[in-house]
Amino acid sequence: MSEETGNFRTDTLNSPEKTCSGTEVIPLGRPGCSLLALCFAAALTYSFGHDWFDPSGFGPGIGLAVTHLILTAAALLAAKRQKRLRFSRTGIFLLAISALLGTSYAVFANAAMRRMNLPVLCLVTAQALFVLTGANRGYALSGAGLWEGLRRYGDSLVRWWKTPFVSLARKTGSGKDVRRNLFPGVMLALAASLTAAFILSTADQVFSGILQGAAERAARADGTFVLRALLALALTLALFSHRFSLLQKPREIPAPSPRVTDAAAFCLVLAGLSLVYALFGYVQIRYLFAGIESVRMSGGYASYARSGFFQLVLVGLLTLGVILPALALFGENRAVRLLCALTSLLTAVIDVSAFVRMRLYTQAYGLSTLRVVTLWGIGVIMIALLAVVAKTAWPGWKLCPILAAVVLISWAALNWINVDRVVANDLVFRYNTNTEGTVSLQTLASDQYWSPDYYAAFGNIVDPSARREALGMLDERAEEERSGRPMIDPPAYDWSLAWLRCGGDADRDGAGIGE
């Protein structure tokens, strides 16, 4: 800000100054101060707005959606004032995915999806902002661009966190490095204050009693407030550092180089995986797909067929973690391409095995949030494996951007299909169509039994007495959670539009909330 004219200077944040110790000082400026204030408010509301210590809690809801949209808009506005905004189709696409994922917190109440969505939301938003501010050098959805964005995101979280402290030290006129001035000053102030308090406590009994009472209350405290305060501080600095980095000259991120390893190493790894996967594929074709019983099947064929799908999905992710870098670094090597294709085809058999096992499991026990996400993961892995096979046959094809777009769009769709309603309707359908009596009311309550959508779905149970019992069971289980905080009455930060359905969609038959 110019003192003579009061107008904003576009070079404020890009013109570092030197202190007497030679350290570069980047002035905050008006955009930096605004971002710092918003990041501090967002961190406070996240740390103190909901019970994130409680594993059975809902997780952040409409509060996170609002703060996410405000922080993203503020970063874009600051970048526009700094003339760093660069609109592109890829940037707008990523920004739209970020907005959809962020808004889902304000609409649905599924705690599991909220938690799983947080890292995806952070990474997609960071990549979108990097593209829109011209920070990324490569194409954002390519393999190199995704790797660059991931490394740039990690760097941006810590690179500028000291800027507020440095600017504060400059405002005091010290002109010294903050690490040698501000932090030691804080420690000396605490030591002096504690010493003075101890001396005064020996001079006045009333003052001593007050201090003793405060010490006793502190000793009885569980430390939750301190942990929340530390989390708020860490989040403030990380959020500010990331958003503030968008206003600076982008730091060079070196591209992956084939010299970091040798193609032979990847060939050996892929060959070893292929041998193991070939043996596993033989077992699946002979026993699982053909339905042959074996004495080695612990618990019999039914138990054998309905287990192990999570491990198989992890193996598929492991394979992609080896194949994708191999193709990115040594895609021109014929042996690497052939081994990648072979490993992908064998992994596809494992992926099909995971799907068959999951289908048998859901037929026996129904859907849940984790099982729905697992089915999505199986489909995504299969698409990725097919893309790898196509890439090995036609190396010139640019499949990574298409694959990345498919994964992001499908994940956003998964967040918006209302997983709770899908799971609840599946459970109720199984109960209504179960003529053998093998599905009990207890099996209807899955991993999200306190979800508002369960009340609406349970209202569709055909048997009136069973419907009353099922709705009453939901209320009883929700009441059990009231020792910490009301599970059917979340705090404002965790609230979502799904709660409007409580007591309105289903015929509660006397088992309504609040009775």
> Tens of pLDDT along 319-361?
888 888 888 778 788 888 899 999 999 999 888 888 888 888 8
What is the Cα–Cα distance from 208 to 423, expressed in whole angstroms?
60
Whether residue 175 is contained in a domain is answered as no
Check whether residue 403 and residue 440 sit in a common domain. no
pLDDT range class, residue 511, cuts 50, 70, 90: very low
pLDDT value at 477 more than 70? no
Check whether residue 142 and residue 155 sit in a common domain. yes
How high is the mean pLDDT of the chain? 78
| Tokens found for residue 55 | 């594993």
Structure confidence at residue 361 (pLDDT): 84
In terms of average pLDDT, the best of 178-192, 255-269, 271-285, 430-444 is 271-285
Check whether residue 410 and residue 450 sit in a common domain. no
Q: How many CA atoms lie within 13 A of 378 on its CB side?
A: 21
pLDDT range class, residue 296, cuts 50, 70, 90: low
Whether residue 244 is contained in a domain is answered as no
Task: Decide: residue 229, CB within 10 A, 0-12 exposed, 13-18 middle, 19+ buried.
Answer: middle
In terms of average pLDDT, the best of 232-241, 253-262, 503-512 is 232-241
Structure confidence at residue 102 (pLDDT): 96
Check whether residue 53 and residue 144 sit in a common domain. yes
Check whether residue 471 and residue 353 sit in a common domain. no
Check whether residue 276 and residue 413 sit in a common domain. yes
Q: Which domain holds residue 117?
A: 19-164
Whether residue 206 is contained in a domain is answered as no
pLDDT range class, residue 2, cuts 50, 70, 90: very low
Whether residue 335 is contained in a domain is answered as yes
Check whether residue 117 and residue 73 sit in a common domain. yes
pLDDT value at 91 more than 80? yes
What is the Cα–Cα distance from 337 to 328, expressed in whole angstroms?
11
pTM of the model: 0.78
Q: Choose the final residue of a domain: 383, 417, 451.
A: 417
Check whether residue 117 and residue 91 sit in a common domain. yes
Q: Choose the final residue of a domain: 378, 397, 417.
A: 417
Stronger pLDDT, 280 or 6, i.e. the higher one = 280
Structure confidence at residue 258 (pLDDT): 53
Contacts from 409-417 at CB under 8 Å and sequence distance 24+?
409/97, 410/376, 410/379, 410/380, 411/101, 411/120, 411/376, 412/97, 412/100, 412/101, 414/113, 414/372, 414/373, 414/376, 415/100, 415/101, 415/104, 415/108, 415/113, 415/117, 416/100, 416/104, 416/107, 416/108
Whether residue 223 is contained in a domain is answered as no
Check whether residue 56 and residue 85 sit in a common domain. yes
Structure confidence at residue 14 (pLDDT): 44
pLDDT value at 253 more than 70? yes
Cβ 356 vs Cβ 305: under 8 Å: yes
Q: Choose the final residue of a domain: 386, 417, 448.
A: 417
Cβ 168 vs Cβ 182: under 8 Å: yes
Q: How many CB atoms lie under 10 A from the CB of residue 372?
A: 21
What is the Cα–Cα distance from 90 to 93, expressed in whole angstroms?
5
Check whether residue 322 and residue 450 sit in a common domain. no
- Measuring CA to CA, how many Å separate 32 from each of 7, 13, 183, 445? 16, 8, 22, 49
User: Domains in the chain: how many in total?
Assistant: 3
Instruction: Classify 232 in phi/psi space as left (phi over 0), alpha (psi -120 to 50) or beta.
Output: alpha
pLDDT value at 445 more than 50? yes
Check whether residue 320 and residue 400 sit in a common domain. yes
Check whether residue 23 and residue 144 sit in a common domain. yes
Over residues 286-305, mean pLDDT:
59
pLDDT range class, residue 307, cuts 50, 70, 90: low
